Amino acid sequence: MGPATLRGPIRHPLQGGAHGGCARRRETGAHDREHRPQSEHRTVLLRGGDVHSPADPFATAMVVERGHVAWVGSEGAADAFASGVDEVIDLEGALVTPAFTDAHVHTTSTGLALTGLDLSGARTLGDALARVRAHVTAHPAGRVVLGHGWDATRWPEQRPPSRAELDEAAAGRPVYLPRIDVHSAAVTTALLDLVPGVTAMAGYHPEGPLTGAAHHAVRAAAHGAVAPAQRAEAQRAALRHAASLGIGTVHECGGPDISDEEDFTGLLKLAAEQPGPRVFGYWAQQVADEKDARRIRELGAVGAAGDLFVDGSLGSHTACLREPYADAPHTGTAHLDAGQIAAHVTACTEAGLQAGFHAIGDAALTAVVDGIRTAAEKVGLARVRAARHRVEHAEMLTPETVAAFAELGLTASVQPAFDAAWGGEEGMYAQRLGAGRAATLNPYAALLRAGVPLAFGSDSPVTPLDPWGTVRAAAFHRTLEHRVSVRAGFTAHTRGGWRAVGRDDAGTLVPGAPADYAVWRTDELVVQAPDDRVARWSTDPRSGTPGLPDLSPGADLPVCLGTVVLGQTVYVRPNE
């Protein structure tokens, strides 16, 4: 991928100040001299930087009024606004972009991972068990220990902890440790004792990790032990962390098999009452009629979508495949068939509600498109397309299912960091599927060529909140033919998330759009495309293509200096 410089190096702005901690500021209204966070009712001029806007590819200034973008343009034109605004912010060369939208997040679990036992860095089985021992020692007894992030495919032992090993490390405490994909979990005997009848449930294993119904029951018990105050603090921690990364919006993917209604409604209430990223909530429960649809709306959800499971995950051998796994003699688990999918989509479409599914394996994705096509035959293709139903993850797509996504107007809500973590000839995908099938996963370029809308997310805490890293992962996909340009990836992680919730007026800095933006310290701006054939025609500054930071592997990622949502500052980087 060949970058071409559009502008010179961007200077590092001064730290400090109330707005974003990112630039010098001066008050122009004599009635209001104190330094305070920008509110949605103030008129603010940002100037002296680079503003990433399709309205003007060379914009250096922007006016925000009443929580919306009022104008973007050149430095010379900005002089005309300077005397009529409440505040002028000197960006000192910083980059302003639309705030990112993470289209798939589990907020409470993300916060618990940030504040609790994180096993994602464990390099061996012994290391993981040692971290459990240390955490149990350092934290008071009487509370269920919640951990996250272990991945035995990265350990030399190539196996998860046995129940006996975990019981010993936990000193008799109830412990819940979901695998990194959250589709199976290692647990202690003490936690199993809190779930009557678990040994008779599907997915129970006497020594190994739990899957299926057994896992869902144990997860409910573990999360049920989290006190409301602890849960709220975890949610605040997750949203604070998101804001610090330039994320202005998250799509919460809740549901009865993932969390509970109290967790879901509590998060939506907290996000509405406190400054921070917006939260659009999806509740993954099947809809049979208008009564069910009304209940989804009463919860505050924007759709009956998110992780409505058609199958599981590749790492846990529960994604539903057409052919057996390369390292297991079965094809995974199917939770919904095409008939159930059709019924859900039909009911949602007739109720004017967005539907969606979690589907990873090729058999699961075939069931999804077959079911939605059946629904379209009943209610009409135009109505199905207008509803913008969505599919989460959508990893093992074929040319046929890609074409069906385009035909049915489906949004692919995908996680490029999955490929960065598990792709390649030596990665987990290749272990599970063999190198040939693994190389077909996550075909982002094919989806874009077919006209399928993409919305990028993290599935945090499965992979971390990391928006620029996510765009990098899509642009430098481990399979060359699946790569997309940085510009296309950036659009999928900003405007794509808004389109996925039915909003076409946001996620971009143009007049009239919500003033959701982030300010970045970075180096030069470039245009990057998947290969040299594209780069030769896309890097000329005269083409009017706005630049973005260099995301080449090894290059430093931009540093977020401030995040603003609807004109209100929700994050300020501390002084260094």
Does domain 4-99+511-572 bear CATH number 2.30.40.10?
yes
- Record the tokens describing residue 452, joined without a space: 């399928």
Task: Report whether pLDDT(34) > 60.
Answer: no
Tally of CB atoms within 10 A around 123 = 10
- Provide the pLDDT for residue 37: 42
Cis previous bond, 461, omega within 30: yes
Q: If you average pLDDT over residues 336-346, what whole number do you get? A: 98
- DSSP string of 158-204? -SPPPHHHHHHHHTT--EEEEBTTSSSEEE-HHHHTTSTTGGGSTT-
Domain limits, CATH 2.30.40.10, in the chain: 4-99+511-572
pLDDT in tens, 172-188: 899 999 888 888 899 99
Superfamily grouping for domain 289-305+336-485: Metal-dependent hydrolases (3.20.20.140)
Q: Is the pLDDT of residue 7 over 70?
A: no
Q: Does 42 score more than 60 pLDDT?
A: yes
Buried b (16+ CB within 10 A) or exposed e, 228-246: eebbbebbbbbbbbbbbbb
For the chain, helix (H) and strand (E) counts, in that order, are 21, 25
- Number of residues that make up the chain: 576
pLDDT (0 to 100) of residue 6: 35
pLDDT level of residue 338 (50, 70, 90 thresholds) = very high
Q: What is the pLDDT of residues 482-492, one digit of tens each?
A: 999 999 999 99
Q: What is the model's pLDDT at position 21? A: 39
In 3D space, the residue among 176, 188, 198, 124 whose CA is nearest the CA of residue 155 turns out to be 124
Which one is predicted more confidently, 30 or 428? Answer: 428
Which residue in 461, 333, 370, 470 sits closest to 413, CA to CA?
A: 470
pLDDT in tens, 135-172: 999 887 767 888 888 899 989 999 999 999 999 999 98
Q: What is the pLDDT of residue 181?
A: 83
3-state DSSP assignment of residue 440: coil
pLDDT for the residue numbered 27: 40
pLDDT tens digit string along 105-122?
999 999 988 888 889 889
Give the pLDDT of residue 180. 86
At residue 549, the pLDDT reads 96
Check residue 537 and give its pLDDT.
Answer: 33
Work out the average pLDDT over 531-553. Answer: 64
Which of 216-225, 317-326, 339-348 is predicted least confidently?
A: 216-225
Which residue in 283, 278, 269 sits closest to 242, CA to CA?
278
Q: Which of 394, 425, 422, 424 is nearest to 408 (CA)?
A: 394
SS3 271: helix
Q: Which of 37-51, 379-393, 395-409, 488-502 has the lowest mean pLDDT?
A: 37-51
pLDDT, residue 3, reads 40
Q: What is the mean pLDDT of residues 346-369?
A: 98
Task: Say what the pLDDT of residue 116 is.
Answer: 80
**Cα distances (Å, whole numbers) of residue 447 to 228, 311, 497:** 41, 21, 16
Pairing of strands 24-27, 87-90: antiparallel
In the chain, which segments carry CATH 3.20.20.140?
289-305+336-485
More confident residue, 241 or 223: 241
Rounded Cα distance between 364 and 438, Å, is 16
Classify burial at 435, counting beta carbons within 10 Å of its beta carbon; exposed 0-12, middle 13-18, buried 19 or more: middle
Calculate the alpha carbon distances from 337 to 340, 357, 521, 555, 574 in Å.
Answer: 5, 12, 48, 45, 51
Q: How far apart are CA 310 and CA 338, in angstroms?
A: 9
Q: Is the pLDDT of residue 434 over 80?
A: yes
At residue 417, the 3 state secondary structure works out as helix
Query: What is the Cα–Cα distance from 572 to 574, expressed in whole angstroms?
Result: 6
pLDDT recorded at residue 527: 83
Contact by Cβ (8 Å): 537, 575: no
- Report the distance separating Cα 414 and Cα 8, nearest Å: 34
Instruction: State both tokens at 80.
Output: 């005309």
The DSSP call for residue 478 is S
